[in-house]
Amino acid sequence: MTGQYEKQPTVPLPADARVLTGVQAWTLAADAASAEAGARAPLLVVDAYPGADLPLLAKAIADALPRWRIVDVEDEAALPIAQIDARFADNLTDDRVFGVLSHATVDAFYDPERLDKLAVEIDGADGPTVLLGWGADLVAQRLHTPYALVLADMARWELQLRQRAGATNWRAENPDEDQLRKYKRGFFVEWRVADRHKAAMFDRLDFVLDANAIGAAEPTSRPAGMITGDAFRAGLANAAHAPLRVVPFFDPGVWGGQWMKRKLELDPGKPNYAWCFDCVPEENSLLLEDAEGAIVEIPSLDLVLAEPEALLGERTYARFGAEFPIRFDFLDTMEGGNLSLQVHPLTDYIQRTFGMHYTQDESYYLLDAGDDAVVFLGTKDGVDREAMLADLRAAETGERPFPAEQYVNAFPAKKHDHFLIPAGTIHSSGANSMVLEISATPFIFTFKLWDWGRLGLDGVPRPVHLDHGERNLVWKRGTAWTEANLVNRVEVVAEDGDVVEERTGLHELEFIEVRRHWFGEQVAHDTEGTVNVLNLVEGDEVEIISPTGAFAPYTIHYAETFIVPAAVGPYTIRRTARSRSERFGTVKASVRGTRTVEH
């Protein structure tokens, strides 16, 4: 079943909004700055997400506004990188992968005296000025001069692609550094600070610029589009009241398979695809599309930050804050290899060690499986703990391979099986599986225990974290307990005509509830006040409709993940007129215990 998997889903902008590019876009921004300034010299503030290509951005502005002076706030007022490194040394740690979340704000990267001096200079300017760079609004907030504010925004996936191609972290001198360390610096420090900074500007933005298209890591024909702040805010508000999809991205890996390449019609020239992140709002993008088909790409995290209550629901927002707690992604090992043998941190450990407030509980839902597919899950009954740890350490040093099946259960896996993996449980997906991973969102906190003796795609051994892993393995999860609690815990909840609703988990230690619905024609749902994340796991094509006409019908194809915001309320999933399948199946995840309760 191939279907028509959409790799570039879009979210509509308001009907009157337009995406502008080039001279037209910058002229409109300059006119807004002039209108704000009145009799004073106009000022345009372009606050750019760290990682934006400032030289190319400055050139685009200069080409469009040749009379305007461009001042780079980073060059003028940023602290030397050595001071920044010292300031964040405890957050970055010496570990290759893991750091500690920073709670800093953007002013920690700047010299306050130089910011003050720059503000005095710009206040006294006698000609039109563009203030450019991450943190430019720090200077603008010190001014007496009115200004127009532009956010040059970027998505994390584009930043990662640029870093792989040799881009540095913000003002760092690390073009050749290990990509894992570059990502760590972004994840634990730069992006956390930048997201706080930009979210505080959302209500004041005059314009939003797609900086992903300026110096893109991969060739793109899409120009750098700009929309007004009003269009940005209205577009996100509309998105929080209708079904939507974020933009999936795909990546190869040492264990990657061939299923996605064939079924989802991906680039056949790639050796494999291991991952697809198709609902990870911290990483994915939204494509905002105007009525003429022009597009602006923004991080999907902007929707979470701007509309958390409508998107997540009052209770989920109260519990997690402006974070999207549910993650759906694909792990493809068809004709590939085993995932690493791994464990995720317990909640207390992730809080104390890394500063995260919830952990990466997860599950494996089998979209497809070969005859020999297995899921490694839980230790075997009666396992010798010390012997297992000794064999893991011997394997880490290369002394001998780790005899995984001597210590870890290998359960046969078939299509539509569901394996539950609360934190602390040793696990791995074996070869010849196509896994829909349904999990909590903190997605880099994987402690690899054994990687089957492989090198990464960069030719370097992938990091193993036995010390962390040993402190988090829950040894009492043996064969009998695992089989009784974590393997295919399917319970029929309701049957009505051709509709069957099943509860498939997750385990009581995990906060995510998963329901599977089988149907032939249609099935009614209600968000009940909390965000729903779904995937069409069986059938070619369905559409989501509102019983009250609150949103336009939204088409979903096989294997597509989609979000139904909490604010939607009742919705129906039904076959389309083009559907040829006789039976359809969806899995739906929500946060347990956050449904609206009538008082």
> Which letter, b or e, does each residue of 464-484 get, where b requires 16 or more Cβ atoms within 10 Å of its Cβ?
bbbebbbebbbeebebeebee
Per-residue confidence (pLDDT) for residue 599, from 0 to 100: 35
Any residues with CB less than 8 A from the CB of 355 and at least 6 apart, and which?
A: 100, 101, 103
Other C-beta atoms within 10 Å of 105: how many?
A: 14
Per-residue confidence (pLDDT) for residue 423, from 0 to 100: 97
Any residues with CB less than 8 A from the CB of 71 and at least 6 apart, and which?
A: 118, 122, 129, 130, 131, 132
The answer to whether the 11-79+112-175+202-239+287-308 and 311-486 domains have the same CATH topology is no
Phi-psi map region of 468: left, alpha, beta (phi>0 left; psi -120 to 50 alpha) = alpha
Chain mean position to CA 447 = 20
The token duo for 370 is 């070969």
∠ CA 559-565-571 to the nearest 5 degrees? 75
Position of tokens 């009666």? 382
Q: How is 64-114 classified by DSSP, letter by letter? A: H-TTSEEEEHHHHHBPPHHHHHHHTHHHH-S-SS--------GGGGB-HHH
Classify domain 11-79+112-175+202-239+287-308 at the CATH topology level. Answer: Rossmann fold (3.40.50)
Q: How is 241-302 classified by DSSP, letter by letter? A: TS-B-PBPEEE--TT-BSHHHHHTT--TTSS-B-EEEEE-TTT-EEEEE-TTS-EEEEETHH
Any residues with CB less than 8 A from the CB of 221 and at least 6 apart, and which?
A: none
Residue-wise pLDDT for 263-297, tens only, equals 999 999 999 999 999 999 999 999 999 999 999 99
Averaged over 326-340, what is the pLDDT? Answer: 97
* Least confident segment among 72-81, 196-205, 392-401, 534-543: 392-401
Residue 489 DSSP class: -
Cβ contact 591:511 at 8 Å: yes
Residue-wise pLDDT for 494-552, tens only, equals 999 999 999 998 899 999 999 999 999 999 999 999 999 999 999 999 999 999 999 99
Distance CA 571, CA 549 (A): 10
119 phi, psi to nearest 5 deg: -65, -40
Q: What is the pTM of this model?
A: 0.96
Q: Write a three-state SS string for 199-242.
A: HCCHHHCCEEEEHHHCCCCCCCCCCCEEEEHHHHHHHHHHHCCC
Per-residue confidence (pLDDT) for residue 173, from 0 to 100: 92
Strand partners, 343: 447
The token duo for 417 is 């099986």
Is the domain spanning 311-486 CATH 2.40.50.1070? The answer is: no
The sign of the CA dihedral 70, 76, 80, 83 is negative
Distance CA 252, CA 417 (A): 25
Amino acid at 486: L
Q: Write the CATH number of the domain with boundaries 491-591.
A: 2.60.120.10
Per-residue confidence (pLDDT) for residue 595, from 0 to 100: 74
Distance CA 37, CA 145 (A): 7
Question: Structural domain boundaries of the chain?
Answer: 11-79+112-175+202-239+287-308, 311-486, 491-591
Distance CA 245, CA 561 (A): 7
Cβ contact 547:571 at 8 Å: yes
Residue-wise pLDDT for 451-503, tens only, equals 998 877 777 778 899 999 999 999 999 999 999 999 999 999 999 999 999 99
413 phi, psi to nearest 5 deg: -130, 135
